[in-house]
C-alpha cells in the first residue's frame, strides 16, 4: 500500500491521472493521511468548492490485511459546511478493496471545465476516468444498479447522489456494503459536495486478481490479530450490545440520562423512545426476516449493523444507526420506526448526512414548516432535496442555513455543523468535544479523554478544577452557534430564579436548571459579554484574512482560532494548549 493516485480533473486535456509513491506520506493511513494531505496541500482560505480544495480518500493502515475490523475509509477536505478542515469516515467494502490494490490514497484535485459526470474505474491494470452523462442525476441506489450491470457484484463503489451533484453542504459520500447497497456514508461536513465540485459521480474499484496484504512478520501479526479478535468478541460492548442491538442500543440509556435531544433540543427525554430503541428495532428486523446482526464489510468481527425490511418483508435499508434514529426520530418527535427507516433510505439514496438532515428537519419544524412528529411531512421534505427544488436545496444546506432562512434562534450547531445525539447540557464533557474540535460539533473528534485520562499531549486533571465539568455550555449565540466563550467555576454557578425564562432545558422537570454564572456585572449570562464580543469579532476579522493572525490573536479568538490553527496544520501541542485555554479558563496575555 504505497501508491497515491492523483486525479487532476482540471487538467487542460481532461482529467490527468498520476500515480506516485506515498513519499512523505508513507507510514500513515486513514484520517492521519487525509488530514495531513489537506493540511499540507489545501490553502486554508480557499473556497471549499473551488479548484484549490482537494478531496482525499484513504483506507486505514491495516485495511486489506486479515486484521479484524480493518475496513474503515477516511475522506478529508476543506468543508463547505464548516469552512474548516474536515475528516469524515465510512465502513463498507471500499477500504479493503483499495488497500488490496496497493493504494494508500486517492486525491481528487483541480476543477473541471463544464459540467462533467466522471466515472472513475480502478483495477489492477490501472485507473480510467470517463465522462458518463447517463449517470447524471441518479440516486445512489439507481446508480449502483447501473454499475452492477456493468461491472458485476464484486466491485466496491464510492459515489454521490443528487445532493453531492448539487454541491449541497450536507451532501455525503456513499460506500457500498457487502450486498452492494450504498448504505455506508462519510456523512459529515459536506464531503459529497466537494466530490461533486470535482465532477466525479462514482469511483468503481475492482480488486480481482489481488491478494490479501501480507504482513512482514506473519507469526507476530497472526498472534496479535488473535488477541485483538478475542478481545472484541469477549468485551460486553463489542461482543454483546453492539452485535445484538446495533449502535441504537444507546437510545434508551442516553434518554435515561436526559441527554437524548428531543424536538429540536427542547428536552432531553423522548416519550416514544421504547418504540424506536435498538431493542425494538432488532426484534422487528428479526420478525420481518431481516437481520439484527450483520457486518458492513468482510472481516468485521463486531457486526453492529443489520438489514431492515419493510412490513412486506422486502429490503428497505440497513439497520438505522443510533445517530439516524435519534436525528430523524426523537429530535423530530417521530416515534415510527418504519418512517425513520424510510428517511434513512432516502438520505442514503440522495446522499445526505443523516445527523444534519434530522437536525435540519427539526429546525424546519421549529420554524412551523411542519409539526413535530409529522413523519409524512419529514419524508416529503427530504424528497424535495432529491428533486432539487428551492426548498430542497435549502434543506440540503443544513440546519444552520435553515435556521437563518427562517429566523430561528435555537439552531443546534457548532461551526455551522449540527450537533450529534448527545446533549452537552446533560453530558457536559461531550460539550467540550463539540466546542474544541476544529470540525464543528463532532462526537468522534476532539477526544477530551486524551488529556483527561490517557495523558496524551499533556494532562488536565478533571478533579483539580480544570476538567470538562467546569467548561459550561452556554446557550447559543444569536447566529445559532454554541460558544464556550467563558470559563465559569462550578462554585460560582447558581440556579436561576424560578419564573425566569431560560432557553434550552435538558429535561422537562428541570425547566429552570440552566447553570448561570453568579456575578455582579449587569449582563445576561447567555449573551456574549461586550468585552468578549470584541475579542470574538477581532478573531472573526482575522479569519477573514485582513492580516495573518498571531498566536495571541488565536488564543483570544476562541473557536475561530481553533479552526484556523488546525486548518493551517499546526501540531497537537498548540491544539492542546488551546484546549487547555478553553477548558481551563486561562486567558492569554496580550
What track of x and - describes contact with another protein for positions 464 through 483 (by CB under 8 A)?
A: ---xxx--------------
Residue pointed to by grid coordinates 456493468: 150
Answer for the pair 261, 330: CB distance below 8 angstroms, yes or no.
yes
Q: Which CA distances in Å does 496 have to 269, 434, 503?
A: 22, 25, 12
Q: Output 275 or 410, the one with its CB closest to another protein.
A: 275
**Total residues interacting with ligand SF4, rule: CB under 6 A:** 11
Separation between Cα atoms, residue 170 and residue 575, nearest integer Å: 27
Q: How many helices (H) and strands (E) does the chain have?
A: 22, 19
> Cell triple for residue 547?
492580516
Separation between Cα atoms, residue 545 and residue 45, nearest integer Å: 8
Beta bridge mates, 334: none
295 touching ligand SF4, by CB under 6 A? yes
Q: Output 24 or 492, the one with its CB closest to another protein.
A: 492
Q: For residue 40, how many other CB atoms are within 10 A of its CB?
A: 11
Residue pointed to by grid coordinates 465559569: 488
What track of x and - describes contact with another protein for positions 405 through 434 (by CB under 8 A)?
A: -----------------x---xxxxx--x-
Q: Output 9 or 325, the one with its CB closest to ligand SF4.
A: 325
Separation between Cα atoms, residue 229 and residue 301, nearest integer Å: 7
Work out which of 84, 105, 261, 278 binds another protein, going by CB under 8 A: 278
Q: Which CA distances in Å does 54 have to 8, 287, 472, 533?
A: 10, 45, 36, 34
- Tell the smallest beta-carbon distance from residue 68 to another protein (Å): 16
Q: Scan residues 246-275 and list those touching another protein (CB under 8 A).
A: 247, 249-250, 252-254, 256-259, 269, 274
Work out which of 166, 304, 375, 432 binds ligand SF4, going by CB under 6 A: 304
297 binds, options ligand SF4, another protein, none, Cβ within 5 to 8 A by partner type: ligand SF4
* Residue among 99, 73, 77, 97 nearest 86 (CA): 77
305 touching ligand SF4, by CB under 6 A? yes
Work out which of 3, 136, 137, 244 binds another protein, going by CB under 8 A: 244
Answer for the pair 110, 52: CB distance below 8 angstroms, yes or no.
no
Work out which of 158, 292, 300, 418 binds ligand SF4, going by CB under 6 A: 300
Q: Scan residues 71-90 and list those touching ligand SF4 (CB under 6 A).
A: 71
Separation between Cα atoms, residue 470 and residue 490, nearest integer Å: 6
Q: For residue 65, how many other CB atoms are within 10 A of its CB?
A: 20
Part of the chain binding another protein (CB under 8 A), chosen from 32-40, 124-132, 392-400, 462-470:
462-470
Contact residues for another protein, defined by CB under 8 A: 235-238, 240-242, 244-245, 247, 249-250, 252-254, 256-259, 269, 274, 277-280, 283, 286-287, 304, 422, 426-430, 433, 443, 447-449, 452-453, 462-463, 467-469, 507, 515
Contact residues for ligand SF4, defined by CB under 6 A: 69, 71, 91, 295-297, 300, 302-305
Amino acid at each position: 500500500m504505497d501508491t497515491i493516485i492523483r486525479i487532476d480533473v482540471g487538467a487542460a486535456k481532461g482529467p490527468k491521472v498520476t500515480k506516485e509513491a506515498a513519499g512523505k506520506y508513507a507510514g500513515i493511513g486513514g484520517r492521519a493521511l487525509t488530514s495531513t494531505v489537506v493540511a499540507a496541500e489545501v490553502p486554508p482560505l480557499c473556497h471549499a468548492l473551488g479548484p484549490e480544495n482537494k478531496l482525499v480518500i484513504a483506507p486505514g493502515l491495516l485495511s486489506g490485511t486479515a486484521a479484524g475490523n480493518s475496513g474503515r475509509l477516511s475522506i478529508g477536505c476543506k468543508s463547505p459546511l464548516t469552512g474548516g478542515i474536515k475528516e469524515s469516515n465510512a465502513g463498507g467494502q471500499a477500504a479493503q478493496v483499495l488497500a488490496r490494490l496497493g493504494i494508500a490514497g486517492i486525491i481528487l484535485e483541480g476543477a473541471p471545465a463544464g459540467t462533467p459526470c466522471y466515472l472513475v474505474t480502478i483495477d489492477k491494470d490501472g485507473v480510467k476516468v470517463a465522462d458518463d452523462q447517463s449517470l447524471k442525476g441518479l440516486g445512489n441506489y439507481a446508480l449502483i444498479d447501473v454499475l452492477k450491470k456493468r461491472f458485476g457484484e464484486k466491485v466496491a463503489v464510492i459515489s454521490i447522489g443528487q445532493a453531492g451533484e448539487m454541491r449541497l453542504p450536507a451532501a455525503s459520500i456513499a460506500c457500498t456494503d457487502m450486498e452492494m447497497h450504498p448504505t455506508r456514508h462519510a456523512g459529515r461536513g459536506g464531503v459529497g459536495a466537494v466530490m461533486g465540485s470535482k465532477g466525479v459521480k462514482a469511483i468503481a474499484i475492482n480488486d480481482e486478481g489481488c491478494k490479501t496484504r501480507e504482513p512482514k512478520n506473519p507469526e507476530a501479526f497472526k498472534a496479535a490479530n488473535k488477541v485483538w479478535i478475542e478481545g472484541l468478541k469477549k468485551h460486553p460492548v463489542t461482543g454483546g450490545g453492539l452485535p445484538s442491538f446495533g449502535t441504537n442500543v444507546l437510545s434508551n440509556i442516553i434518554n435515561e440520562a436526559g441527554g437524548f435531544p428531543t424536538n429540536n433540543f427542547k428536552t432531553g427525554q423522548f416519550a416514544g423512545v421504547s418504540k424506536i430503541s435498538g431493542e425494538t428495532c432488532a426484534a422487528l428486523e428479526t420478525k420481518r426476516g431481516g437481520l439484527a446482526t450483520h457486518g458492513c464489510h468482510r472481516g468485521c468481527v463486531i457486526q453492529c449493523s443489520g438489514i431492515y425490511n419493510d412490513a412486506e418483508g422486502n429490503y428497505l435499508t440497513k439497520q438505522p444507526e443510533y445517530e439516524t434514529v435519534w436525528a430523524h426520530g426523537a429530535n423530530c418527535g417521530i416515534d415510527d420506526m418504519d418512517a425513520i427507516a424510510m428517511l434513512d433510505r432516502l438520505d442514503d439514496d440522495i446522499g445526505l448526512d443523516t445527523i444534519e438532515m434530522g437536525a435540519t428537519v427539526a429546525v424546519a419544524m421549529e420554524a412551523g414548516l411542519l409539526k413535530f412528529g409529522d413523519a409524512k411531512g419529514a419524508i416529503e421534505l427530504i424528497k424535495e432535496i432529491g428533486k432539487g427544488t428551492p426548498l430542497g436545496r435549502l434543506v440540503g444546506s443544513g440546519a444552520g442555513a435553515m435556521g437563518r432562512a427562517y429566523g430561528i434562534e435555537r439552531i443546534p450547531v457548532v461551526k455551522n455543523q449540527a450537533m450529534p445525539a448527545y446533549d452537552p447540557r446533560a453530558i457536559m464533557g461531550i460539550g467540550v468535544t463539540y466546542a474544541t474540535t476544529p470540525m464543528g460539533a463532532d462526537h468522534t473528534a476532539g477526544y477530551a479523554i486524551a488529556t483527561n485520562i490517557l495523558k496524551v499531549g499533556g494532562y488536565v486533571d478533571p478533579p483539580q478544577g480544570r476538567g470538562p465539568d467546569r467548561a459550561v455550555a452556554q446557550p447559543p449565540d444569536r447566529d445559532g452557534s454554541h460558544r464556550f466563550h467563558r470559563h465559569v467555576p462550578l462554585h460560582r454557578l447558581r440556579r436561576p430564579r424560578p419564573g425566569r425564562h431560560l432557553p434550552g432545558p435538558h429535561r422537562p422537570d428541570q425547566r429552570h436548571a440552566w447553570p448561570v454564572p453568579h456575578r455582579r456585572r449587569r449582563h445576561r449570562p447567555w449573551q456574549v459579554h461586550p468585552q468578549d464580543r470584541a475579542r470574538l469579532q477581532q478573531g472573526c476579522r482575522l479569519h477573514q484574512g485582513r492580516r495573518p493572525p498571531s498566536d495571541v490573536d488565536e488564543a483570544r479568538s476562541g473557536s475561530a482560532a481553533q479552526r484556523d490553527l488546525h486548518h493551517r496544520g499546526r501540531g497537537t501541542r498548540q491544539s492542546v494548549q488551546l484546549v487547555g485555554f478553553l477548558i481551563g479558563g486561562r486567558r492569554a496575555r496580550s
